[in-house]
Amino acid sequence: MAKPKPSSAGAKPTAAAPPVTVHSALVTYTSMLALLSLCPPFVILLWYTMVHADGSVVRTYEHLRDHGVLEGLKAIWPMPTLVAWKIIFGFGLFEAVLQLLLPGKRFEGPISPAGNVPVYKANGLQAYAVTLITYLGLWWFGIFNPAIVYDHLGEIYSALVFGSFVFCIFLYIKGHVFPSSSDSGSSGNVIIDFYWGMELYPRIGKYFDIKVFTNCRFGMMSWAVLAVTYCIKQVRIL
């Protein structure tokens, strides 16, 4: 006679398996924490070197050597200003509207591990053209002076550092509380969840893809806008 299986009613829950990583835990966590903590000050140091140290890495090094790393960094770190926040939110809102309203062909991404197929509107080229035409038009007709962006660039970078951190916290909470699809979940480790993200395709509503916005709209469009900004600023100086 087969023995009855023991009841699992009183069994203790097994601990969640640690997240599987390619490298050792030391390398993994050191790399993640280094990127999270060192990239923001690197951006500010690069801006300071180009704008206030005449492009001299040696002068920046001497500043940090003479004042100490923390105090020296604190002395050169610009604080976000209202002008910086207005520029960021204005540009972000403009790109979000273009992402949602510009026409484009339906594009389907690869099937996800959970069987979901992300659907996008392929209107990036249109957004690129509209962004540059609008930006140059605002300058040409004297409505907006792009040199203001350059003059407040340090404050903009600083605002983006703090704003991005808050935005990542929002995405972390969103992945826990109201994920966009079944392609979501926790690894059981706060650091890995915050670094990797809780969702594969985070969205706000049905159509606004957050990855497309941060990477392809706000991020990539700003590259072109900043290049134009630098040119206009240089023309004004000359």
Report the number of distinct structural domains present in the chain. 2
Do 53 and 119 fall within a single domain?
Answer: no
Do 28 and 87 fall within a single domain?
Answer: no
Do 153 and 215 fall within a single domain?
Answer: yes
Do 203 and 86 fall within a single domain?
Answer: yes
Residue 12 lies in a domain: no
Do 95 and 145 fall within a single domain?
Answer: yes
Residue 10 lies in a domain: no
Do 103 and 199 fall within a single domain?
Answer: yes
pLDDT for res 10: 47
Identify any residues that bridge with 199 across adjacent strands, giving them in sequence order.
184
Model's pTM, two decimal places?
Answer: 0.85
pLDDT for res 12: 46
pLDDT for res 168: 94
**CB under 8 Å, gap of 24 or more: what pairs does 206-214 form?**
207/100, 207/121, 208/96, 208/99, 208/100, 209/99, 209/118, 209/120, 210/171, 212/99, 212/120, 213/95, 213/96, 213/99
Residues in the chain with pLDDT values less than 50: 1-16
Domain that includes residue 47, residue range: 23-77
pLDDT for res 45: 97
Cα 188 vs. chain centroid, distance in angstroms? 23
Q: Which of 11, 43, 77 is the last residue of a domain?
A: 77
Q: E strand or H helix at 107, and its extent?
A: strand 105-108
> Cα-flanking dihedrals φ and ψ of residue 56, to 5°?
-95, 115
pLDDT for res 47: 96
pLDDT for res 20: 64
Residue 38 lies in a domain: yes
Q: Which of 55, 77, 99 is the last residue of a domain?
A: 77
Do 205 and 180 fall within a single domain?
Answer: yes
Do 71 and 105 fall within a single domain?
Answer: no
Do 61 and 172 fall within a single domain?
Answer: no
Q: For residue 164, which of 97, 222, 225 has the smallest C-alpha distance?
A: 222
pLDDT for res 19: 62
pLDDT for res 25: 81
**Beta carbons of 165 and 194 less than 8 angstroms apart:** no
Residue 174 lies in a domain: yes
| Burial of residue 84, with CB atoms counted within 10 A of its CB: 0-12 exposed, 13-18 middle, 19 or more buried | buried
Q: Which of 42, 59, 77 is the last residue of a domain?
A: 77
pLDDT for res 238: 57
pLDDT for res 188: 86
Do 36 and 83 fall within a single domain?
Answer: no
Task: Classify the C-alpha dihedral 45-51-57-60 as positive or negative.
Answer: negative
Residue 36 lies in a domain: yes
Residue 158 lies in a domain: yes
User: Radius of gyration over alpha carbons of the chain, in Å?
Assistant: 23
Do 63 and 96 fall within a single domain?
Answer: no
Do 122 and 217 fall within a single domain?
Answer: yes
Residue 173 lies in a domain: yes
Residue 82 lies in a domain: yes
pLDDT for res 187: 86
